Amino acid sequence: MTQKLTKTIVDSISYPENGQTFYRDSEIKGFGLRVGATSKVYIAESKVNGKSVRVTIGKHGIYTAEQARNQAKEILLMMSKGINPNDEAREQKTRGMTLQHVFQDFLIARKALKPRTIYDYKRIMGTYLATWNNKAIAEITKDMIAKRHTELGETSQAQANLTMRFLRALFNFAAGQYEDSKGQTLIPDNPVKRLSQTRAWYRVERRQTVIKPLELEPWFQSVMNLKNDAISQNRETIRDYLLLVLFTGLRREEAASMAWDNVDLQAKTLKVTDTKNHLDHTLPLSNFLYDLLEQRKANAVNEYVFQRAGGVGHIIEQRKQMAKVIKESGISFTIHDLRRTFMTIAESLDISAYAVKRLVNHKMNNDITAGYIIADVERLRDPMQKITDYILKCAGVKPPIKAIKLSKRGAIK
C-alpha cells in the first residue's frame, strides 16, 4: 500500500488480526510503516551493496510521522553511500558493551568450563578487575592494561600475570563473537598484547614446593585435628579431602568433585572421569584410603564424596581450614603442593617412571615403549600401598599390629 504517511493516515490504519502489514510512503522511496497486531513502527529500507536492508526507526506515538520522515532521509542517505545503519548501530552497541557483559557471554559460550574454573574467573572479575566491570570493553586501553598489571604485580606477580591472561582471553573471545554483517570483527585490537610487545610479563618461576618428610608428621597431626564443631560442620570433610589428595596425587578439582558412582569399595578403586588430559584415570585404593572412604560412605549425604556443609553439591573452597593447618603446623602449602609431594615420594621410592606417570595420569607422549604397556590398575596397587606406607611412617602413624597365631605347643607360626 502506497500513500503519503501522515499522522492522520497512520492513526486511521487498523491493526491486523494476524501477521504484519507494510505501508509505503508515496513521497520518499524507502520510507514506510510496519503494522503488527499491537504496534505501528516506522522503517526505512533500501539496498546496500546489493543486499536489502531494513532499519527500524521507532514506534508511532514516540515518533511523529514528520520526525520519522526526517530520520528516514538521514538513514537512506547513509545507505546510498554503502553504509549499513544496522552495522553502525550494532558496532555502537558493542563498543558500549561492558566487560561484565562480555564475561557473561563468555561463560555462556564456554559450556565445558569446570566449576572451579568458573569460580576462579568470577573471583578475578570481582577482585582484580572489579573497577572495570561496568566499563565499556572498547574503553580499556593498552596504557590501562600496563598500569593495572604493574599495580597487581606489587602484591603478586603470579596473580598479575594470571589476571591479564584471563583478560586477554576475554578480548580474544569478543573479537570472535561480535561481528558486523560482513563478518568483520567489531573488536579489532587486543590491548593486552602491549605486555608481550614490551616484554612486561613477569617471569614467575614454577612452584617446586613440597611437604618434606620431616614436615609430614606435624602437617598430618594438624590436619587430623580438624574436627567438626558448632561453628563449622565441614572441617572433617576438608580433613579427608586434604588426606586423599596427599595419598593419591589427584588434582584439586578432580578430588573435590569426586562422585560416589566412581568409587568402587568392593574392587578397592576410584575413577576420575573429568581429567585435565581428558583420559579416564583409575587408581587402586591403599588400605588407608579404603578405610577413609568406607567411613565417609557410611555417612554420605549426597552423590559427592566431599559434600558441602549444606549437603548440596561438593566442596569448592578449602582455604579457611587450610589456614588453620598452616598456622598450627607452621608448614605453608597449597593443594598442588600435596600432588607434588605425592610424586616426589613416588620417585624417591624407586617406583618405575611408567608407574609414577600412570599414578598421576600424565600422558606419555612420543614414548614408543609406553604404548605397549597395558595400564592395569592392579599393577599400580603395590606402588600405591608403598607410597601410603611411607607417608604414614613419616607422619608417625604406626601400622596396625597383626595377630600372631600360636600352635598348641606355643610355637609361633
pLDDT in tens, 268-288: 999 988 766 566 788 999 999
**Is 189 in the same domain as 285?**
no
Domain boundary among 197, 231, 259: 197
Which one, of 58, 57, 62, lies nearest residue 73 by Cα?
57
Residue 92 is assigned to a structural domain of this protein:
no
pLDDT at 152 over 80: yes
**Is 312 in the same domain as 184?**
no
Q: Percent of the chain scored above 90 by pLDDT?
A: 61
User: For residue 319, what are the domain limits?
Assistant: 213-394
Q: What is the CATH number of the domain that holds 187?
A: 1.10.150
**Is 149 in the same domain as 267?**
no
Least confident of 53-67, 308-322, 356-370: 356-370
- H/E segment holding residue 230: none
**Which residue's entry shows cell 606406607?**
389
Q: 165-179, pLDDT tens digit by residue?
A: 999 999 999 998 887
> Rounded mean pLDDT of the chain?
87
Other beta carbons within 10 angstroms of residue 19's beta carbon come to: 8
Phi, psi of 292 (to 5 degrees): -60, -45
Residue 91 is assigned to a structural domain of this protein:
no
d(CA 195, CA 188): 17
Which one, of 140, 316, 168, 164, lies nearest residue 237 by Cα?
316
pLDDT at 2 over 90: no
**Is 20 in the same domain as 149?**
no
**Is 162 in the same domain as 75?**
no
Phi, psi of 78 (to 5 degrees): -60, -45
The answer to whether 152 touches 165, Cβ cutoff 8 Å, is no
**Is 79 in the same domain as 103?**
no
Domain boundary among 23, 50, 83: 83
Phi, psi of 159 (to 5 degrees): -70, -35
Which of the given ranges, 38-52, 86-100, 234-248, has the highest pLDDT on average? 234-248
In the chain, the amino acid numbered 349 is: L
**Is 223 in the same domain as 307?**
yes
Q: What is the CATH number of the domain that holds 344?
A: 1.10.443.10
Residue 406 is assigned to a structural domain of this protein:
no
167-206: b or e for each residue (b if 16 or more CB lie within 10 Å)?
Answer: bbebbebbeeebbeeeeeebbeebbbebbeeeebebeeee
Q: 180-200, pLDDT tens digit by residue?
A: 766 778 788 899 999 999 999
The answer to whether 298 touches 233, Cβ cutoff 8 Å, is no
Residue 383 is assigned to a structural domain of this protein:
yes
In the chain, the amino acid numbered 29 is: K
Which one, of 207, 208, 238, lies nearest residue 319 by Cα?
238
Number of domains forming the structure of the chain: 3
Residues 6+ apart with CB under 8 A from 382: none
State how beta strands 263-264 and 269-272 pair: antiparallel
* DSSP 8-state assignment for residue 311: S
d(CA 397, CA 286): 15
**Is 315 in the same domain as 177?**
no
Q: At what angle do helices 157-177 and 99-109 cross, to 10 degrees?
A: 80
Domain boundary among 20, 53, 83: 83
**Is 231 in the same domain as 168?**
no
Enter the C-alpha cell of residue 142. Answer: 593498552
**Is 66 in the same domain as 116?**
no
What's the pTM value of the predicted model, to 2 decimals?
A: 0.59
**Is 103 in the same domain as 76?**
no
**Strand order across the beta sheet in which 269-272 lies:** 263-264, 269-272, 281-284
Over residues 313-317, the mean pLDDT reads 87
Residue 133 is assigned to a structural domain of this protein:
yes
* DSSP 8-state assignment for residue 259: B
The answer to whether 245 touches 340, Cβ cutoff 8 Å, is no
Residue 177 is assigned to a structural domain of this protein:
yes
pLDDT at 365 over 70: no
Q: What is the CATH number of the domain that holds 44?
A: 3.30.160.390
Residue 94 is assigned to a structural domain of this protein:
no
Which one, of 205, 209, 207, lies nearest residue 219 by Cα?
209
Least confident of 20-24, 86-90, 248-252: 86-90
Comparing 292 with 301, which gets the higher pLDDT? 292
State how beta strands 31-35 and 269-272 pair: unpaired
Residue 19 is assigned to a structural domain of this protein:
yes
Enter the C-alpha cell of residue 187. Answer: 573488536
**Is 59 in the same domain as 133?**
no
Over residues 398-411, the mean pLDDT reads 52
For the chain, the maximum distance between any two Cα atoms, rounded to a whole number of angstroms, is 123
d(CA 383, CA 324): 31
Tell me the C-alpha to C-alpha distance, in Å, between residue 65 and each of 43, 44, 55, 198.
Answer: 11, 13, 16, 56
Which one, of 245, 285, 250, 281, lies nearest residue 265 by Cα?
285
Number of residues assigned to the chain: 413
The SS3 call for residue 365 is: coil
